Amino acid sequence: MILSPVTRTRLRDGVLHAMAQGPVLMGILNVTPDSFSDGGAFVDPGIAIAHARAMLAEGAGIIDVGGESTRPGAEAVSEGDETRRVMSVIPQLLKDEATVVSIDTYKASVARAAAAAGAVIINDVWGMTRDTGMADAVAQTGSLIVVTYNRGQADSSLNLVDDMRDFFDAAFVMAARAGIPREHVLLDPGVGFGKTWGQNLTALSRLDVLVDYGVPVLVGVSRKSFIGRVLDREVGDRLSGTLAAGIASVQRGASVLRVHDVAAHADALKMLKAIDEAR
């Protein structure tokens, strides 16, 4: 273990406190060759660490490390390869005992390895439904868990709001059975996962459904295809749309924004705060 249990608990509880005080930025660190936006840019551990440190300096409160692309059509990665990728950077990040690390994985074994090193958040894009061991991994490591609303396949006929409620109700039952404290759960509307582009917009417009559960809400929309659909922009030209969606999400109650462009979001949130405080 890189961090002592006491330090890890302090970081976990500290980031929960920060979420309660105002929006926290989660910087995306994909150590993958094929992620939709920055695939291959940070496969070299030295470059990845430098990028993470830059995001922290720009205002990120969390670094979310991913070793397998979750874009549609991406190739599956073995547990061993994914663990190797993420563990090439997590121990280095945690040498600074002020850094909060999240592991972006749906595999329980990868989550356990990252938590053993000191990661305090498990960001599961399948909401603990893909790997039956994930809930136990979260409970036994005392980690926070991001439960993402992800049905796998888009269904334009369903009532999205009702389905989100059913999904999260089931997630809390699963968490309770495993022994995960309710206060360790974060909810993510799952923009880009198993939804039509219109349902992505509906999910963002109805964040109140998630906020009503009384736990932190995480929103990850950075550079995603629904923004390109609305604005007719390619991946590299979606910052303005990402910022607009992020600010709208904060105004609807989001506690965490998962982003590529940390500095721009930090500026946007600072401006929003100044306006709010001038009332």
Please give the order of strands across the beta sheet that includes 256-259. Answer: 185-188, 144-148, 121-124, 101-104, 62-66, 24-30, 256-259, 218-219
Active site residue 229: no
Active site residue 224: yes
Taking CB atoms within 8 Å and a gap of at least 24, the contacts of 228-232 are: 229/197, 230/197, 230/201
* Residue whose entry in the numeric block shows the structure tokens 């136990």: 136
The residue from 258, 270, 273, 279 that is catalytic is: 258
Taking CB atoms within 8 Å and a gap of at least 24, the contacts of 233-238 are: 235/36, 235/37, 236/37
Contact 32, 43 (CB under 8 A): yes
The residue from 8, 85, 195, 224 that is catalytic is: 224
Element (H, E) at 256: strand 256-259
DSSP 69: -
Q: How far is CA 31 from CA 48, 86, 115, 241, 271, in A?
A: 7, 7, 17, 25, 31
Active site residues: 224, 258
